[in-house]
Amino acid sequence: MSPKRIHLIAAARPNFMKVAPLYHALAHENWCTAHIVHTGQHYDANMSEAFFRDLRLPEPAHHLEVGSGTHAEQTGRTMIAYEAVCQRERPEAVVVVGDVNATAACAMVGAKLWIPVVHLEAGLRSRDRRMPEEINRLVTDAIADLLWTPSPDADANL
């Protein structure tokens, strides 16, 4: 049986720090292959190269090159680009991180394509729906298949 393809979605620099330990743990497993998908939501070539080097991460398997824009533009471009990747190379699971626009966008793509979605850093709440990140958290947690929480208060929120 061939290894299961797992997509690790990273959009912003803090996401790479959260994805790195998971990538390295999965790299030692025979049952799966982890593929990093860089959405490019926050992108600076020098910063990205430094993060990849310092965290000992390989070049992303996919770079969506979403760039900046309004919340709707980023979310829409991410969904369109990531759906195309999933249709070409269907993963067995999608791991999204945190609360950026790409987190909700890639979670929606996975859910709509019936690909299991895992939310790393689930359950965090500000309780302020004026914050775009809070909306992203709520949407992602509602549609994810597996919720990995970072703290007891996140557990309680769910």
Contact 61, 27 (CB under 8 A): no
Give the pLDDT means over successive 10-residue stretches in the chain (158 positions).
94 89 96 95 67 89 93 96 98 97 98 98 97 98 98 97
Q: Which pTM value belongs to this model?
A: 0.94
Q: Specify the pLDDT at position 12.
A: 83
The whole-angstrom separation of Cα 46 and Cα 95 is 25
Contact 140, 120 (CB under 8 A): no
DSSP 53-121: HHTTPPPPSEE----S--HHHHHHHHHHHHHHHHHHS--SEEEEETTSHHHHHHHHHHHHTT--EEEET
CA angle in degrees (0–180, nearest 5) for 95-145-101: 50
Q: Specify the pLDDT at position 53.
A: 87
Residue 89 structure tokens: 């190379």
Contact 14, 47 (CB under 8 A): no
The whole-angstrom separation of Cα 31 and Cα 59 is 21
Domain 4-157, classified CATH 3.90.1150.10, yes or no? no
Torsion, Cα 155 130 38 149, to 10 degrees, reads 0
